[in-house]
């Protein structure tokens, strides 16, 4: 659900002594794919906020690591695209933009079951699975030949550009649903509690002792 983070990259220009790194190419590639998703999603049929969103993709060369399968970090960026598609097709993206609200990922759990390799076709599935008293939860799956290769659960919150946090009640009003009718499974509630860190404004020093 949650749309892609702003990438600190642009189309590189060739200057004397400039070296075009693999990282730069990968970032530009993901930026172009994000822009393409924003265009194509607006042309697809509308989707209800609570339905499963599906995006068909192919593994691209810049998705791979040295072992020839999709890099584990790339899955997170690809999931951004799935959430963006769902938000745009449900009309929520446009509403968020008007209100000056934006989503952020609070935590994510990913399980890698099988590897995706170059040019393989797969479907990225995205579904809002519920709410607790502070956040929305989205499940995403990478599916090939009806087999789940990778599955993830993301805890997402919404912030206001004017300052402050969007409440779950405000989220529900935006989506036209009652969040209390979509409780999260017990295991996800336990995971969210156990994985939580102190608030951003609190002190949390790194101490390995």
pLDDT per residue of the chain (209 residues) written in tens, 0 to 9? 544 443 333 333 334 444 545 445 555 678 888 898 889 999 999 988 889 999 999 999 999 999 999 999 999 999 999 999 999 999 999 999 999 999 999 999 999 999 999 999 999 999 999 999 999 999 999 999 999 999 999 999 999 999 999 999 999 998 889 999 999 999 999 999 999 999 988 999 999 98
**Do 145 and 132 touch, CB atoms closer than 8 A?**
no
Phi-psi region of 150 (alpha: psi -120 to 50; beta: other; left: phi over 0): beta
Coil/strand/helix, residue 184:
coil
Neighbouring-strand partners of residue 158: 103
The CATH code of domain 22-195 reads: 3.10.129.10
**Do 12 and 19 touch, CB atoms closer than 8 A?**
no
DSSP labels for 106-137?
EEEEEEE-S--BTT-EEEEEEEEEEE-SS-EE
pTM as predicted: 0.83
């Amino acid at each position: 659900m949650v749309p892609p983070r702003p990438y600190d990259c642009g189309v590189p220009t060739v200057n004397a002594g400039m070296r075009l790194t693999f990282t730069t190419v990968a970032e530009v590639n993901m930026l172009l794919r994000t822009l393409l998703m924003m265009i194509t999603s607006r042309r697809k049929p509308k989707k209800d906020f609570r339905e499963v969103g599906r995006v068909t993709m192919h593994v691209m060369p810049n998705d791979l690591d040295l072992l020839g399968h999709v890099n584990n970090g790339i899955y997170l960026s690809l999931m951004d695209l799935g959430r963006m598609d769902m938000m745009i097709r449900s009309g929520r993206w446009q509403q968020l933009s008007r209100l000056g609200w934006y989503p952020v990922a609070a935590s994510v759990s990913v399980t890698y079951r099988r590897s995706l390799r170059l040019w393989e076709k797969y479907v990225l599935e995205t579904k809002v699975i519920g709410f607790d008293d502070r956040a929305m939860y989205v499940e995403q799956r990478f599916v090939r030949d009806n087999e789940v290769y990778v599955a993830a659960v993301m805890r997402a919150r919404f912030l206001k550009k004017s300052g402050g946090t969007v409440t779950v009640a405000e989220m529900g009003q935006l989506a036209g649903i009652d969040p209390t009718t979509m409780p999260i499974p017990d295991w996800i509630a336990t995971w969210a509690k156990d994985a939580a860190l102190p608030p951003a404004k609190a002190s949390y020093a790194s101490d390995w002792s």
